[in-house]
């Protein structure tokens, strides 16, 4: 009986176990093979508001995070409202269901529209940003707060933003299955 050399025995074992491919080697005397750069750090800091307590909720956190160039949050923290907290939303009058959408702010928005769009990485095709509403978070509501992720739009792109955004998991498109975590909302006013 003839014995196989150790490398020949290990190859089927690595394949069967789903072994990773070996790392790329640089040619002798040449530079090392390029390595994918780590994602850029998220700018800014997470700013909690009075009345919110940090909690753990991985499912909600994952809903709020976005991949680079796709919008949403770059990073964040989940909070639960211990008392009513005022929030603001700029939305699209032509789409009434967006009045109570998912993206909010703790600060009253300021124009001009293009500056607000840039600060919050909001593509023009996502919203006309022509109305503003003020609401209060319901006690017990969970939200995610953090700086915005980058966004590639049809005509322009926005980098990651240090501006804090508030993700509220409202569902308003289907009237039969609405979930709303805000109350005492204003009717909405033309903006800016």
Does pLDDT of 14 surpass 60? no
Give the pLDDT band (50/70/90) at residue 41: confident
As beta bridge partners, residue 82 has: none
Quick: pLDDT tens for 65-82.
Answer: 999 999 999 999 999 999
Q: Mean pLDDT, to the nearest integer, of 87-100?
A: 95
Note whether 121 and 158 are within 8 A (CB). Answer: yes
Average pLDDT, the chain: 84
pLDDT at 40: 54
Residue among 148, 142, 145, 87 at smallest CA distance from 117 = 148
For 118-130, what is the mean pLDDT? 96
Nearest CA to 94 out of 134, 70, 130, 132 is that of 130
The pLDDT score that the predictor gives to residue 4 is 44
Residue range 140-192, pLDDT digits in tens: 999 999 999 999 999 999 999 999 999 999 998 888 889 999 999 999 999 99
Cα distance between residue 92 and residue 190, in whole Å = 10
């Amino acid at each position: 009986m003839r014995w196989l050399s150790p490398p020949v025995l290990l190859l089927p074992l690595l394949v069967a176990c789903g072994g990773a491919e070996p790392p790329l080697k640089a040619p002798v005397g040449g530079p090392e093979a390029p390595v994918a750069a780590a994602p850029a750090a998220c700018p800014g800091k997470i700013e909690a508001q009075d009345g919110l307590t940090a909690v753990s909720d991985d499912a909600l956190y994952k809903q709020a995070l976005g991949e680079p160039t796709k919008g949403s949050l770059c990073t964040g923290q989940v909070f639960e409202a211990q008392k009513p907290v005022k929030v603001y939303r700029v939305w699209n009058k032509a789409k009434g269901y967006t009045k109570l959408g998912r993206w909010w702010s703790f600060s009253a928005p300021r124009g001009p529209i293009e500056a607000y769009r840039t600060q919050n990485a909001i593509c023009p095709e996502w919203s006309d940003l022509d109305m503003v509403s003020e609401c209060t978070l319901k006690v017990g509501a969970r939200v995610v707060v953090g700086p915005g992720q980058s966004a590639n739009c049809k005509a322009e792109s926005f980098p990651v933003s240090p501006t804090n955004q508030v993700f509220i998991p409202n569902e308003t498109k289907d009237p039969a299955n609405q979930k709303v975590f805000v109350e005492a909302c204003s009717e909405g006013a033309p903006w800016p």
